[in-house]
């Protein structure tokens, strides 16, 4: 076993052990050579975040950890509704960090959270009373604007976020479940990133008291600049390349950040966290088997769960390897910040051709491989598990800082874990039974053959690297 010997610093040149791998796995195709690097000009146009329309009982965990519809899980059919004037299209959004006991989809009457063309300026401004009335209608307090010293002349709901036209430009106002100290942590991290010349995020607006948040009526709000652009399309090779490089640059720029005061818990206890997910699959299995009259969804779950529990065990075995554990300890000495909620909806392809990371509410220190695995997995699911997608992500991510052998091993272990199946079961057994979940399980079942073929090939490549 070469686990411990291969835990090299990631800024060294690959040795002989990498030569075969680079020729086989990371040789960029012709179209990858022409992908432009994202321009590094000043600060981006801005950012928008999300806010819950109703106060949840607890914070919704990030999508890599919980239920999300952004993996391509079919949505429950809804009755057709008339589109609002502000809506330029109907799309569903993933979880909105509201109550985990509600479906994480967005009404079709709202436009996507990021959109390149705004209707602001195309109509006369609303009266102040009309704007305040709309703000209240969506569960926000107009007093939050006063605390920022701004006046809104136009209000438009985008899911759980309000986009406001103000004297300070377009802003996104969010009612957040974060505590003030957590918002302060994010604000400090943004300032540190700015010092390190990484500006592809949306900075907070400061209140009249110089704080990145305001508190009104027992609720906490924060506001950010609005990002003009479209959600990232993982099917676009150009956008996927930009996203991979941007993520790598974000990770590297955040190293060395030392927050003053509060700092959230790090995410390095991967074995414990994924063991919990494995145990939940077993618990739901026992619950379904104990029913006197299991429904069709229970029967489908029971017919599939043992295979996925075995995949959990294989994934955990990889994470427990001495070399991987040594790598995590080494990474913890100089940890990067991780986004931890990398859905296409939380990354914006801006009108200036950059990728902007938004909605960093779950951001904390952790292994960069966790973020990378989440990005790769979502891109693979959209491309029907084509191996070329992985190669494209790795080539662009490695252009910033090379992954070590043990990071490839950990990446393989994270991709082995059955995230989609776990999320569907979480939705069904912990949030609420729904007969439409049968279709979700069938979707996971339909992709499994290609997913396993991909994992077999990638696993063989990783093992050759370790020899």
- Predicted local distance difference test score (pLDDT) of residue 188: 97
Average pLDDT over residues 29-38: 46
Count how many Cα atoms sit within 13 Å of the Cα of residue 214 in the half-sphere of its side chain.
23
Average pLDDT over residues 424-432: 94
Q: Using 50, 70 and 90 to split pLDDT, how confident is the model at 254?
A: very high
Show Cβ contacts of residue 327 under 8 Å, excluding neighbours closer than 6 positions: 7, 367, 404, 406, 407, 410
Q: Tell me the pairing of strands 219-225 and 169-176.
A: antiparallel
The H-or-E segment that residue 387 falls in is: helix 387-398
Show Cβ contacts of residue 115 under 8 Å, excluding neighbours closer than 6 positions: 88, 158, 229, 230
Distances (CA, A) of 3 to 22, 61, 461: 20, 32, 15
- Predicted local distance difference test score (pLDDT) of residue 126: 63
**CATH 3.10.580.10 for domain 4-34+269-334+367-466:** no
CA atoms of 1 and 393, how far apart (whole Å): 28
Model confidence pLDDT, tens digit, residues 183-237: 999 999 999 999 999 999 999 999 999 999 999 999 999 999 999 999 999 999 9
Task: Measure CA 433 to chain center.
Answer: 25
Query: What percent of the chain shows pLDDT beyond 70?
Result: 73
- Predicted local distance difference test score (pLDDT) of residue 282: 98
Phi, psi values for residue 314, rounded to 5°: -65, -40
Model confidence pLDDT, tens digit, residues 147-182: 999 999 999 988 778 999 998 899 999 999 999 999
In this model, does residue 410 exceed pLDDT 80? Answer: yes
pTM for the whole structure: 0.75
What is the crossing angle of helices 16-24 and 437-466, to 10°? 140
- Predicted local distance difference test score (pLDDT) of residue 434: 86
Query: What percent of the chain shows pLDDT beyond 90?
Result: 67
């Amino acid at each position: 076993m070469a686990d411990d010997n291969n835990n090299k610093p990631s800024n060294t040149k690959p040795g002989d052990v990498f030569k075969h791998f680079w020729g086989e796995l990371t040789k960029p195709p012709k179209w990858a050579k022409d992908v432009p690097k994202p321009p590094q000009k000043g600060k981006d146009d801005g950012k928008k975040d999300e806010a819950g329309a109703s106060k949840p009982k607890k914070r919704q965990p990030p999508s890599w950890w919980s239920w999300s519809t952004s993996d391509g899980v079919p949505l429950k059919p809804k009755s057709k509704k008339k589109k609002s004037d502000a809506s330029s299209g109907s799309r569903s959004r993933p979880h909105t960090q509201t109550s985990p006991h509600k479906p994480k989809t967005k009404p079709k009457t709202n436009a996507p959270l990021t959109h390149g063309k705004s209707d602001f300026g195309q109509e006369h401004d609303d009266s102040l009373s009309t704007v305040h009335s709309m703000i209240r209608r969506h569960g926000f307090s107009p007093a939050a604007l006063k605390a920022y010293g701004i006046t809104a002349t136009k209000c438009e709901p985008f899911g759980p976020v309000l986009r406001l036209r103000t004297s300070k430009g377009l802003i996104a106002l969010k009612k957040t479940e974060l505590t003030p100290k957590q918002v302060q942590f994010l604000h400090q991290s943004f300032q540190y990133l700015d010092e390190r010349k990484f500006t592809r995020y949306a900075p907070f607006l400061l209140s009249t008291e110089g704080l990145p948040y305001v508190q009104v009526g027992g609720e906490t709000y924060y506001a950010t600049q609005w990002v003009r652009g479209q959600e990232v399309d993982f099917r676009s090779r150009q956008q996927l390349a930009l996203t991979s490089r941007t993520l790598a640059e974000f990770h590297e720029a955040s190293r060395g950040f030392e927050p003053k005061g509060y700092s959230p818990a790090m995410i390095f206890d991967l074995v414990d966290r994924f063991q919990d997910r494995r145990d939940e699959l077993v618990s739901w299995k026992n619950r379904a088997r104990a029913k006197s009259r299991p429904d069709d969804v229970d029967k489908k779950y029971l017919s599939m769960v043992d295979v996925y529990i075995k995949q959990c065990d294989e994934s955990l075995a990889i994470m427990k390897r001495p070399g991987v554990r040594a790598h995590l300890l080494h990474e913890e000495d100089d940890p990067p910040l991780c986004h931890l909620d990398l859905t296409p909806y939380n990354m914006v392809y801006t009108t200036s051709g950059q990728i902007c990371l938004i909605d960093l509410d779950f951001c904390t220190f952790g292994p960069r491989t966790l973020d990378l695995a989440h990005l790769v997995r979502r891109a693979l699911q959209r491309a029907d598990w084509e191996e070329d997608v992985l190669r494209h992500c790795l080539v662009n991510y490695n252009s910033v800082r090379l992954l070590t052998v043990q990071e490839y091993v950990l990446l393989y272990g994270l991709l082995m874990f059955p995230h989609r199946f776990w999320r569907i079961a979480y939705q069904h057994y912990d949030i609420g039974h729904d007969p439409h979940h049968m279709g979700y399980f069938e979707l996971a079942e339909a992709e499994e053959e290609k997913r396993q073929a991909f994992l077999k090939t990638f696993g063989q490549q990783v093992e050759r690297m370790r020899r």
